[in-house]
Structure 1
């Protein structure tokens, strides 16, 4: 829960942080964007290290980073040190998802893997759902500093639980002599990957306010340099050859990015509409949005049973169809819509999240080679961040000249089109011969 929890609960403290550190509203959002960027790079990096050094060891090291960030953050005397604490927090929490996937895959019986993946999906959904609520209570009790303090007991509890209750998996699965830690990290590859992701995110975020076209060649150059490096590195940060040969795994990443592109259109768009058009307070908006994430968590066990019975392919089609239906429900929103209609539509959108998130997570697990389970899981999360950033760019364009019901309807149409695309992709996959269990 720590990664989605920390990415969401900070939203309630942005105003306080801007006042305490005397920074502008634009600059204070760096505590959010720096976390996402560090996590987008940190998830596959930590997953790759887990594949080489063992996921248990990397997880405990990550929780240590979380505890250190919880100590350093509250006592930051400058905004730069606060950002450094957030980056450390992002990297530390980024060890959790890929390490958990690798540990479950290594230690569980095949019939128990799906239950473990379902539990991970529930934890992620609950972290996102509870973030604003826990953040609001923590800030009310102890100021913005409490958002760092809550990580200390959670990080310690997680590290101790793994240390005492999960035995080491054994030697890393990669064969041959183990290279030095520096070569394992592949610092040049990590740097080029970070440059590629950063320039791509900057490009997408610039679209609503005026596209920075110079970022197009910058992104292309960084990506080309990254590919050149990884194809020649003796111990690459990212096994590009494995990814290019593994079309099913690449398909999972593309579908997950597209799904999150659509899903976050509602997650980020509806709150702005509720505040501007319907005049709701931020506190009430948080309560209205709770069903969207909460239903995603509550419905995950049901999604697991349905997937076990009907397979991931059929449930992806059902989930994408429900995404289309939920997006169409947003077209009912207007300046006088009953608020229960808003809550019902948002709750409806929680169902496709439960189905698509778990189904794609299981398909990722089935497509990734065992020796690369950690880095594959990390890239899965990176595709989530890319989809979310694409969604914010879409909303920036839609709301560029004002936030209204018509603009929200345009966003809903885009979401529905993306959902139809996912339906078509999975129908084509089944027609091409995918098994019913897939």
Structure 2
């Protein structure tokens, strides 16, 4: 298999000649129609639902707390619940896409998003609102791994490698929707009330659902296996490994609560997290179709290093994203609106660099630049103070935005190339799980370093952590032989 550093995405691992479809051999699609608008429109629309919902809720939390008479500590559950559900749901939905077919999983996920939107819009109490966010996390988690599994299946069907710019569009949809989420949420909450933040998912999911039913190619028949390659988006649904998923969810939940309480560490949580993790490893090594294929990961060091890069990158990015914005308001004296404007270069840089990274030949160069910009942006933060000029603030945000776009497309292309041919959906889900773990860890560090209020010293400590993580990340990227052009494992 060609390494991700090769031009475009990885060439499919199996011979593409006349793969069988549900009704017989598929004929290669016309060159202009493969990976075209009909295939990509529902995939892109579905892929933006998770990131936009992760940020759109931010500007509605105050109004929700006021209506249900709960404080900030309680409304934070609306964020954490979706992160946890997504972190577990991404690899679970990816595995299901590999086994049952990506189109089926995509359609089921869009249907769940519709249900979650209705539950949230009509919720009579706060507990049901949390349920809505959990269902929303699971439903939106289906789109991204299903999309990558669908692209791999389309690549086999047409005999063409998936173009890097196609993968880049998925990253751009996620980055762009996450960037506009707070603005969209604020607009909806101000004009139609906070329930509109939940209700807007219904028409968006219905559009994705209609596009999927009309344009996505049907999955292969369950149980049919492609010669020499394993499954091509189909397989026994009974092999989903529910016990493995439950153990993974339990260990991740304990870890999340520990990380969110770093200011006053709940040390007793480490015991159940360790026990559940050990049992998970034991069970995954025994199960014939494990939820997380630990043996494959042990053999696939390149993929494990990609997950590590993803987690470290977004740990720094989320530390700056949340920590810098709080510092702008509480230490620098900006209003929420003006703080959002100062953060705008970060979003613009991320959106602009995503297609650039997608068009770059290979992934080693953009990932190296991303790590270098993380170190440089953190160094600029180290120099900031409450009296710093606006230009310095804008430059700091832009420097952190660059690696968001480059690392997102680069690591996505690496996962697509390094994952097993019959497991790209589950592999893509684990990539997002690494990202969410970075976000949860960042939230805990910000609470630990800032305490009750953001300060210059707290921002500088965040900057030092960013530098301390970005430099090893740069070394890891440069030393990774799997990212070198022409490398073959």
TM-score (ref. length: structure 2): 0.84
What SS does the aligned partner of 2:402 have?
Answer: helix
Q: Is the 8 A contact 1:105 1:113 kept in 2?
A: no
Q: 1:365: how far off?
A: 1.0
Using the alignment, how far apart are the partners of 1:298 and 1:368 within structure 2?
27
| C-alpha RMSD over aligned residues | 1.8
Count of equivalent residues: 430
Task: Report whether the alignment pairs 1:69 with 2:116.
Answer: yes
Query: Please, which of 338, 341, 347 is the counterpart of residue 287 of structure 1?
Result: 341
Query: Please, which of 322, 326, 342 is the counterpart of residue 272 of structure 1?
Result: 326
Q: Is the 8 A contact 1:45 1:237 kept in 2?
A: yes
**Residue of structure 2 equivalent to 1:187:** 242
Q: Which residues in structure 2 correspond to 1:198-237 (within 5 Å)?
A: 198-208=253-263, 210-237=264-291
**Residue of structure 1 equivalent to 2:23:** none
Q: Judging changes above 3 Å, is the alpha-carbon distance between structure 1 residues 295 and 434 closer, same or farther for their aligned structure 2 residues?
A: closer
TM-score (ref. length: structure 1): 0.94
Q: Judging changes above 3 Å, is the alpha-carbon distance between structure 1 residues 169 and 297 closer, same or farther for their aligned structure 2 residues?
A: farther
Query: Please, which of 173, 177, 193 is the counterpart of residue 127 of structure 1?
Result: 177
Q: Judging changes above 3 Å, is the alpha-carbon distance between structure 1 residues 375 and 23 closer, same or farther for their aligned structure 2 residues?
A: same
Q: Which residues in structure 2 correspond to 1:84-163 (within 5 Å)?
A: 84-108=131-155, 110-163=160-213
Using the alignment, how far apart are the partners of 2:161 and 2:424 within structure 1?
17
Using the alignment, how far apart are the partners of 2:210 and 2:436 within structure 1?
29
**Residue of structure 1 equivalent to 2:38:** none
Q: 1:403: how far off?
A: 2.1
Q: Is the 8 A contact 2:100 2:236 kept in 1?
A: no
Q: 1:389: how far off?
A: 1.2
Q: Which residues in structure 2 correspond to 1:356-371 (within 5 Å)?
A: 356-371=407-422
Using the alignment, how far apart are the partners of 1:434 and 1:347 within structure 2?
26
Using the alignment, how far apart are the partners of 2:132 and 2:458 within structure 1?
37
Task: Report whether the alignment pairs 1:398 with 2:449.
Answer: yes
Could you tell me which runs of 5 or more consecutive residues in structure 2 were left unpaired when the two chains were aligned: 1-47
Q: 1:303: how far off?
A: 1.6
Q: Is the 8 A contact 1:76 1:82 kept in 2?
A: yes
Using the alignment, how far apart are the partners of 1:25 and 1:45 within structure 2?
31
Q: 1:179: how far off?
A: 7.7
Using the alignment, how far apart are the partners of 1:434 and 1:39 within structure 2?
28
